[in-house]
Structure formats: structure tokens, C-alpha cells
């Protein structure tokens, strides 16, 4: 079992996506589907995958498109693909570790920890009413962790994979909107995210947007 820092790894992956002009929207959704599977397998060195389930989670309908994106991710170093040509044996994937492993004994690495604030000598204490208001504001503005987001998505019968995408996307942006405005209510933002058709169906406002690559047709694709 690998010892991977969940948030740090995804932040590193998104940084690579933003700096890689070859990356398209489908590459990202496919990678996140594999990452979700990897996480559920407690970051094992190599995982066996079911193509149909991965395609469903990645919102990819074409088998040819799936294999093209998968071969790209393999060639570009995002993962290693070990195809199986036997109909009853699944293919295997080995996710690339982007140097975010930690020494946590739980196997999923420690996430960012907020330091407690202690007023310096001479600083007045904040009135209790103001403290409570500020606490409530941040409770609405950002979720405490990914599980809180996933529980909210499940409560509304929204897919887990979209909840993970929503959390990672805005966590990497410090919970700010595209215009740089701070999110005031993450649940309202999640509702808008779902109603607009999920963030991965929109144009990425990053160096990855606008680039096209030629899809290569493969006539000897594994099942």
C-alpha cells in the first residue's frame, strides 16, 4: 500500500495539467476516474480496472476515445497502462507518484493542517459575537474536508466522482471563483456547479484550454 497525500497529489496533477498544452478535458476526467479507483484501493501500487465502469465515471462514451486518452496519459507519464487481452481479466494501471508521498501510517498521507491562532501581546481580543459570526461565515464558505462535500453530494443524489472534482477544483483555487471572488457559500456553489452541467463540461480557463490534438485510430485495442 502506497502512502500518498491525497490533496497534495491532486494539486500536483492539476499543476501538470495546466502546464501541459497537450491535455484536453477528456484526459482530465479519465485521470480523475482512475485516481478515484486508486484511492478506493488505498493507493495500492498497481490496481485492476474495469473499462466500462471507468468510462462511466469519466463520462466517456466511445471505446476508441477511451483508449486514445489512456494511451496519451501512459505516454506522457501520468500513469502506466498494462493492457489485458483476455476478456475475463481486467487491465492494470499503475498511477505515477508525483513526489507527494508522506510518512503517514494510514496510507493516505496527512492533509493541510490549519495552525491555531493565538493573539500576540497587546492585541485586543475579538468580541465573542464577532468570533461566532466569522466562524459561521467560514463554515459556509469552505467545507472542512472532502468527506463533507461527498456527503452533501450523496444527500442530493449527485455522483461521488463529481463531488471529488468539485472539491479538488476549488481547493486548488483556494475556494475562489473564476473572477477571483471568494466563495461565500460552498453548498450554493456546488448546486450551481451541478445545475450548470459539471465543471468538466465547461471550458478550462487555463493554459490547457483551446488546444487540439489529433486522435489516433487504433485498430488493435484491448478489450
Task: Give DSSP secondary structure letters for 68-102.
Answer: HHHHHHHHTTSEEEE---STTS-EEEEEPP-S-B-
**Residue in the block written with cell 486508486:** 38
pTM here? 0.47
- What span, in angstroms and rounded, lies between the C-alpha atoms of 63 and 65? 5
Q: What is the mean pLDDT of residues 69-97?
A: 89
Predicted confidence (pLDDT) at residue 207 exceeds the cutoff of 70? no
pLDDT tier, 177 (very low <50, low <70, confident <90, very high otherwise): confident
Predicted confidence (pLDDT) at residue 107 exceeds the cutoff of 50? no
- CA 98 to each of CA 87, 92, 176: distance values in angstroms, whole numbers, following the listed order: 32, 19, 25
pLDDT tier, 72 (very low <50, low <70, confident <90, very high otherwise): very high
66 within some domain: no
215 within some domain: no
Rounded to the nearest integer, the mean pLDDT of the chain is 74
CA distance from start to end of the chain? 27
171 within some domain: yes
Beta strand residue intervals within the chain, DSSP E = 47-49, 79-82, 91-95
Give me the pLDDT at residue 197, please.
65
Candidates 217, 220, 223; CA nearest to 68 is: 217
44 within some domain: no
Give me the pLDDT at residue 119, please.
42
Give me the pLDDT at residue 198, please.
54
Q: What is the mean pLDDT of residues 21-32?
A: 94
Predicted confidence (pLDDT) at residue 219 exceeds the cutoff of 70? no
The number of folded domains in the chain is: 1
Predicted confidence (pLDDT) at residue 37 exceeds the cutoff of 80? yes
54 within some domain: no
134 within some domain: yes
Lowest mean pLDDT among 91-100, 104-113, 209-218: 104-113
Give me the pLDDT at residue 221, please.
53
Give me the pLDDT at residue 137, please.
43
113 within some domain: no
- What span, in angstroms and rounded, lies between the C-alpha atoms of 128 and 26? 49
Q: How many Å separate Cα 58 from the centre of its chain?
A: 12
Lowest mean pLDDT among 43-47, 98-102, 194-198: 98-102
* Sign of the torsion angle spanned by Cα atoms 121, 122, 126, 127: positive
Range of the domain at 187: 128-201
Number of helices and strands in the chain (H, E): 8, 3
65 within some domain: no
More confidently predicted of 85 and 58: 58
- What span, in angstroms and rounded, lies between the C-alpha atoms of 184 and 140? 6
Amino acid at each position: 500500500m502506497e502512502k500518498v497525500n491525497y490533496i497534495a497529489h491532486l494539486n500536483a496533477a492539476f499543476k501538470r495539467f495546466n502546464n501541459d498544452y497537450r491535455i484536453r478535458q477528456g484526459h482530465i476526467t479519465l485521470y480523475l476516474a482512475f485516481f478515484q479507483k486508486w484511492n478506493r484501493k488505498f493507493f495500492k501500487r498497481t490496481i485492476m480496472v474495469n473499462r466500462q465502469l471507468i468510462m462511466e465515471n469519466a463520462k466517456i462514451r466511445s471505446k476508441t476515445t477511451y483508449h486514445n486518452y489512456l494511451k496519451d496519459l501512459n505516454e506522457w507519464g501520468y500513469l502506466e497502462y498494462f493492457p489485458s487481452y483476455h476478456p475475463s481479466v481486467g487491465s492494470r494501471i499503475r498511477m505515477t507518484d508525483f513526489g507527494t508521498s508522506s510518512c503517514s501510517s494510514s496510507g493516505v498521507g496527512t492533509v493541510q493542517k490549519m495552525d491555531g491562532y493565538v493573539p500576540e501581546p497587546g492585541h485586543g481580543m475579538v468580541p465573542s459575537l464577532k468570533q461566532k459570526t466569522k466562524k459561521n461565515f467560514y463554515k459556509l464558505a469552505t467545507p472542512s474536508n472532502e468527506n463533507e462535500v461527498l456527503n452533501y453530494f450523496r444527500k442530493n443524489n449527485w455522483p461521488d466522482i463529481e463531488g471529488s472534482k468539485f472539491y479538488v477544483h476549488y481547493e486548488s483555487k483556494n475556494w475562489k471563483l473564476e473572477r477571483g471572488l471568494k466563495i461565500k457559500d460552498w453548498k450554493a456553489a456546488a448546486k450551481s456547479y451541478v445545475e450548470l452541467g459539471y465543471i468538466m463540461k465547461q471550458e478550462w480557463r487555463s493554459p490547457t484550454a483551446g488546444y487540439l490534438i489529433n486522435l489516433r485510430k487504433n485498430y488493435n485495442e484491448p478489450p
